[in-house]
């Protein structure tokens, strides 16, 4: 079993290959022979090196907004896994198949908490599972009505500052107001 430091470093190297180098080849070099990526909210991703290279090259790395920012909230390492809780901020200024497939750029700012669970085999990534609240994204780009029981960017603010007010949707539901 690899040490926590080794897994953390391997994950950071993978992230640099994606967000700094934007290189499918460099990203795959950090992965096992049969990796997969699952963007759970949208059932998007790929299995195997050929499919994953195509996904990275044509639907992810070339569609990372220039102002994207990732803020770490927490990282947990153990049992061959890294679990990162992050806040992602970006302007929806370009096509983004990996988060808003089929949606033309809106120019809207998006801030959302998300979690990625990375499984390792040795010091190589075997898979990534990414989770976020897609309704929050849709609210922020103007595609989902805020009168529904959904939240927008305030979900990220709550993660970063737990003193933010909570239960507004419950109160709103009890009062019958939409």
User: How confident is the model over 30-41, as pLDDT tens digits?
Assistant: 999 999 999 999
Of 89, 87, 96, 73, the residue nearest 140 (C-alpha): 89
Find the mean pLDDT for residues 113-133: 97
Token pair recorded at residue 89:
């901020």
- Identify the residue with better confidence: 25 or 1: 25
Is residue 1's pLDDT more than 80? no
The predicted pLDDT at position 177 comes to: 57
Question: How far apart (Å, rounded) are the C-alpha atoms in residues 30 and 143?
Answer: 36
What proportion of the chain, given as a percentage, has pLDDT over 70?
A: 98
Rg of the chain in Å (alpha carbons): 17
Question: How far apart (Å, rounded) are the C-alpha atoms in residues 153 and 114?
Answer: 12
Q: What residue ranges do the domains of the chain occupy?
A: 4-163
Is residue 115's pLDDT more than 60? yes
* Single pTM value for the model: 0.89
- Identify the residue with better confidence: 55 or 171: 55
Residue 158 Cα distances to 24, 75, 137, angstroms: 34, 18, 15
Is residue 111's pLDDT more than 60? yes
**Fold of the CATH domain 4-163:** Nuclear Transport Factor 2; Chain: A, (3.10.450)
Average pLDDT over all residues of the chain: 94
The predicted pLDDT at position 161 comes to: 86
- DSSP 8-state secondary structure symbol assigned to residue 22: -
Among the residue ranges 61-70, 127-136, 149-158, the one predicted with the least confidence is 149-158
The pLDDT confidence band at residue 113, using thresholds 50, 70 and 90, is: very high
């Amino acid at each position: 079993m690899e040490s926590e430091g080794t897994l953390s470093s391997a994950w950071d190297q993978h992230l640099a290959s994606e967000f700094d180098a934007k290189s499918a080849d460099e990203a795959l070099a950090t992965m096992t022979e049969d990796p997969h990526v699952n963007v759970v909210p949208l059932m998007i991703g790929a299995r195997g090196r050929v499919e994953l290279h195509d996904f990275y090259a044509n639907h992810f790395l070339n569609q990372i907004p220039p102002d994207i920012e990732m803020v770490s909230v927490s990282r947990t390492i153990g049992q061959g896994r890294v679990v990162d809780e992050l806040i992602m901020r970006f302007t929806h200024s370009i096509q983004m198949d990996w988060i808003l497939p089929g949606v033309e750029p809106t120019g809207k700012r998006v801030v959302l908490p998300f979690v990625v669970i990375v499984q390792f085999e040795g010091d190589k990534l075997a898979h990534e599972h990414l989770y976020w609240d897609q309704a929050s994204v849709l609210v922020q780009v103007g595609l989902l009505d805020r009168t529904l029981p959904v939240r927008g960017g305030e979900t990220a603010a709550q993660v970063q500052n737990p003193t933010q007010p909570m239960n507004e949707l419950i109160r709103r539901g009890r009062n019958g107001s939409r």
